[in-house]
């Protein structure tokens, strides 16, 4: 199994610093721009991508969107921008975490390991969760709606698994932030709303399909199968 982390950043000093701190636990591959990101992913088969926002050729937002079209890989965005809107945009595009420069290499290492733990949670137990029109295979992290496979990002899968495993339970937005993004994530609850919106769109692919995720006004969301 691959143990590679792909770092995409045009600052060579940053790349070397990240590599120095991660190479005891991971194989670190470096790319200095956004050219042929799909080729780099195929060649390195990374378990996680650290992606700078301000890149030549293609910026980090474009690359994050491009990766998410075909790859179910955790992504940590790395940027000098600290504006809250930028953080929310990255999460809306499918990023799993967001770190602002300048950063502590030890914090980055901790976040990398935390994201990898969350993305692989549940993988050790062969388990299938079934609802009318919906099947979650926990071991393979695959989802089918009416028998057809649906591609989910790691965060979308984690949200669905958490809520489907607790059908009928109401989760506040703050609770979902803590459980899915981690207690140290300092974004706001709009990230949850954006992920829920994307997840609903993927699950409710047919006009007459069941609905699964419902808004509890003033509180948050719950999973419940409704015709």
Question: CATH number of the domain that 168 lies in?
Answer: 1.10.10.10
pLDDT at 125: 42
Parent domain of 201: 128-226
Q: Judge if 25 and 116 occupy the same domain.
A: yes
- Alpha helices, H only, the chain: 12-22, 37-44, 60-70, 84-92, 105-120, 154-164, 173-176, 190-203
85, 100, 120 — which closes off a domain? 120
Work out how many domains the chain is built from and give that number: 2
Q: Judge if 109 and 152 occupy the same domain.
A: no
CA–CA gap between residue 183 and residue 211 (Å, rounded):
29
Q: Judge if 64 and 134 occupy the same domain.
A: no
Cis peptide before 102 (omega within 30 of 0): yes
Evaluate whether 158 touches 121 at the Cβ level (below 8 Å): yes
* pLDDT per residue of the chain (227 residues) written in tens, 0 to 9: 468 999 999 999 999 999 999 998 899 999 988 887 888 888 888 889 999 988 888 888 889 888 887 777 889 988 776 666 666 777 777 788 888 888 888 889 998 988 888 766 544 444 778 888 888 888 788 898 887 889 898 889 999 999 988 888 999 988 898 888 775 555 567 888 989 999 998 988 766 678 899 999 989 999 988 87
Q: Judge if 107 and 180 occupy the same domain.
A: no
Token pair for 56: 């030549």
Q: Judge if 10 and 93 occupy the same domain.
A: yes
pLDDT at 226: 84
Q: How many CB atoms lie within 10 A of CB 191?
A: 24
Q: Judge if 99 and 151 occupy the same domain.
A: no
Token pair for 195: 């992920």
DSSP letters along 173-194, please? HHHHIIIII-TT----THHHHH
CA–CA gap between residue 33 and residue 58 (Å, rounded):
7
Q: Judge if 138 and 111 occupy the same domain.
A: no
CATH number, domain of 9, equals 3.40.50.2300
Q: Judge if 62 and 155 occupy the same domain.
A: no
Q: Judge if 63 and 144 occupy the same domain.
A: no
Q: Judge if 111 and 134 occupy the same domain.
A: no
Q: Judge if 115 and 205 occupy the same domain.
A: no
Token pair for 78: 């790395």
120, 136, 169 — which closes off a domain? 120
pTM: 0.59
pLDDT at 14: 92
Q: Judge if 8 and 116 occupy the same domain.
A: yes
Residue found under tokens 């699950």: 203
120, 151, 173 — which closes off a domain? 120
> At 128, which helix (H) or strand (E)?
strand 128-131
């Amino acid at each position: 199994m691959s143990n590679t982390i792909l770092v995409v950043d045009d600052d060579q000093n940053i790349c070397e610093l990240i590599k120095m701190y991660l190479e005891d636990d991971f194989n670190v591959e470096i790319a200095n721009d956004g050219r042929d990101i799909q080729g780099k992913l195929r060649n390195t088969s990374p378990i996680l991508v650290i992606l700078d926002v301000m890149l030549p050729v293609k910026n980090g937002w474009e690359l994050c969107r491009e990766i998410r079209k075909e790859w179910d890989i955790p992504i940590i965005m790395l940027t000098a921008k600290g504006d809250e809107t930028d953080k929310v945009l990255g999460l809306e595009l499918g990023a799993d975490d967001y770190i602002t420069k300048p950063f502590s290499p030890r914090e980055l290492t901790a976040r990398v390991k935390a994201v990898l733990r969350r993305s692989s949670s549940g993988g050790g137990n062969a388990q299938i969760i079934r609802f009318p029109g919906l099947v979650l295979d926990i071991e393979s992290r695959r989802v089918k709606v009416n028998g057809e496979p649906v591609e989910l990002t790691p965060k979308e899968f984690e949200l669905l698994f958490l809520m489907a495993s607790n059908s009928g339970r109401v989760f506040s937005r703050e609770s979902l932030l803590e459980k899915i993004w981690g207690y140290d994530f300092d974004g706001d609850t709009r990230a949850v709303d954006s992920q829920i919106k994307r997840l609903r769109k993927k699950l409710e692919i047919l006009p007459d399909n069941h609905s699964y995720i419902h808004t509890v006004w003033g509180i948050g969301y719950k999973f419940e199968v409704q015709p």
